[in-house]
Every structure is written in structure tokens, then in C-alpha cells.
Amino acid sequence: MARFLALALILAALLTSALAAPSSPSTGLLLVANKGDQTLGLIDPSAGRQIATVAEGGVTGHEVAASPDGKRAFVPIYGNSGVGLPGTDGSTLDVIDLSARKVIHTIDFGHGVRPHCAVFGPKDGLLYVTTELDKSVTIIDPQTLKIVGSVPTGQAESHMLAISLDGRYGYTANVGPGTVSVLDLAGRKTLSVIPVAGHVQRVSVTPDGRWVFTSDAEKPRLAVIDAATYKVDRWIALPGTGYGTASTPDGKWLLVAVPQANGVAVVDLATLQIVKTITVPPAPQEVLIRPDGQVAYVSCSHSNQLAAIQIGSWSVKLIEAGHGADGLAWAK
């Protein structure tokens, strides 16, 4: 009986310890588009290092999306210039097997479209890719790797895309026109085009779908768009012109890359006020929040690094990446 009681006490202690222990970090693979190297970088987030690169099939990939099962990456090949600038017009998208670490298929759009931002629909599982020169978002079936449709944006230079968590709405940042297009993804039509500024950059939507954010590329401010009214509700002053944004899954924080300030502004989504600016290496570009909400990864293109920001403590660790680190994705 004494031995049984001792064993029971030990088991109870172990169970209590396990329940009290903090949850372990999400396991997964961090993907980064290394524009200068024309490679996709595979980063072990636990080790904090780039463990492999995959050469792209063209010049050059700016963004990347990971399939929901974490097995493949999709890299649109944009071209050799920036948005709205003279240069080549990309017409393909690389499909990369992350286990084999190689390009296994190339999707051809048939003509130059400057494909740029790829996003998986959270409900339908389809892949949506901005195709700037067609003023559209092209829809790809990731199983058959075939183009199955498109959604018009009604604007030129539809560069970046965000999709609401319910999968109903898409939002494109139309750089040159300075607008945001609101898309009905199921109906495959444009619902509205929202005037914002002279030029805009990047776009994101909060987890509850209430707010859409895009940066004024000419002034140090962030547009807060009311998703219900299709209007700019207010502006958030930034310490420099902004770029990429992302909300934490709990809807508490919005992180804003501010390249001019070499910083990341932290916005309290309850008040829509900046509460902190975190110093990071030069030219922060894209912000990716890890699915567990514990870490934000920020690509810093001029230093060829990623800044890993601990949500809450706001401490920063740096990860070496490739030249011109830009687009990010998380492969579970």
C-alpha cells in the first residue's frame, strides 16, 4: 500500500507539472524569399538559422506561400524590377517540394503578368495570386496546379493581397493608383475600390475582419479602413513611412514595419494607438506572425536578416537569411 501511494503521488506531481508547464513553441519551417540570391530560404526557427536554399526557376520571387499541409511552397516569379518600374514581366510560378528541396513544377500564366503575392484561401483551399498586369487576382487549384479562374481588381498595380479569415473577402493594395480593392472571392468580382493616398504599400486585415490596413507610401501614416463601410476611418501617425503589417491571432496587436525608422511599430488594436517602436536591422519589409501568436518575424532586406520579436516582452533575436530577404511564410 505504501508503495502504491508513493507511486500515485509521483504520477500526480508529474501531471501537475505537465499542466503547469508553458506550451512549447510551434514546430514548423520559416520560409523567406531571398530576392538578391533568387532563392527560397528554409529557416529552422528553433535553431535560428537558414538550413537550406532552393534556387528559383526565374528572376525573381518576391513573395512565398506555404500549402496548408506544410509540404509545398509557391513562389510567383515577378520579374527584375520593382512595382510600376520598367523591366521584365514575370509569367510563371514555382512549386517547390519542401522535403525534396527542389522545384517540382512551374505554372505558366501564358503571358507576362508580374505575379507577386500568393495567399491560400482559409476556407476553400485555393491559391490566390496577384497578377498586376492583368489587373486581377488569378485563382489556382493547388492540387491540379491548374488556373481555374480570376477576380478583377479594377486597378493597376494590384501588388499585395490579404484575405479575411472567413474566406469571403480579398483586399488588394494597388500601389500606383493609391487605392485598395475589395473583392468578393466567391462571386469573383470587385465590390469596391477605396481611394486612400497618392501611393500605397502592403495590406492586411484583422482576425475579426473589422479593419483593413495599408501604408501611405508618401507620408508617415497608416490608413485604417472600415471593412463595413469601405472608407478610411482614420490614420495612425508613424515614425516614418510604413510598409508591411500583421495582426496577432488574438486581435490584440498590430505590428507595422517602418523602413525609414529601422523599426517596427506596435499598435494596440483596442485603441488604435502606437504603444512601442522596436528597433530592428535596416529596411524592415514584411511582418509574419507565427500561428501560435508568440513570435513575429520581420524580414530586413538591407541586412539580409530576419528579426524574431517575442510578442509581449518585445525582445529581438536576429536570424541570418539570404540577400534581399523579403517575403515570408510559415510551413507547419
pLDDT in tens, the chain (332 residues): 444 444 343 434 443 333 333 333 458 999 999 999 999 999 999 999 999 999 999 999 999 999 999 999 999 999 999 999 999 999 999 999 999 999 999 999 999 999 999 999 999 999 999 999 999 999 999 999 999 999 999 999 999 999 999 999 999 999 999 999 999 999 999 999 999 999 999 999 999 999 999 999 999 999 999 999 999 999 999 999 999 999 999 999 999 999 999 999 999 999 999 999 999 999 999 999 999 999 999 999 999 999 999 999 999 999 999 999 999 999 99
**Dist CA 211 CA 230 (whole Å):** 10
Q: What is the pTM of this model?
A: 0.92
Residue 148 burial (C-beta neighbours within 10 Å; 0-12, 13-18, 19+): exposed
Spell out the SS3 assignment of 276-316.
Answer: EEEECCCCEEEEEECCCCCEEEEEECCCCEEEEEECCCCCE
11, containing H or E segment: helix 2-20
Nearest to 56 by CA among 330, 331, 332, 322: 322
Residue 61 and residue 33 in contact, taking contact as beta carbons nearer than 8 Å: yes
| pLDDT value for 26 | 53
Residue 146 and residue 130 in contact, taking contact as beta carbons nearer than 8 Å: no
| pLDDT value for 2 | 44
Residue 249 and residue 289 in contact, taking contact as beta carbons nearer than 8 Å: yes
DSSP-derived letter for residue 132 is G
- Long-range contacts made by residues 177-184, C-beta under 8 angstroms, separation at least 24? 178/217, 179/155, 180/212, 180/214, 180/223, 180/225, 181/153, 181/154, 181/155, 182/227, 182/230, 183/137, 183/151, 183/153, 184/151
- In which region does residue 98 sit, left (phi positive, over 0), alpha (psi from -120 to 50) or beta (all else)? alpha
Grid cell of 39 as nine digits? 532563392
- In which region does residue 101 sit, left (phi positive, over 0), alpha (psi from -120 to 50) or beta (all else)? left
| pLDDT value for 4 | 40
Residue 43 and residue 49 in contact, taking contact as beta carbons nearer than 8 Å: yes
| Bond into 131 cis (ω within 30) | no
The C-alpha cell 506544410 sits at 70
| pLDDT value for 1 | 43
State the first-to-last Cα distance of the chain, in angstroms, to the nearest integer: 47
Grid cell of 62 as nine digits? 518576391
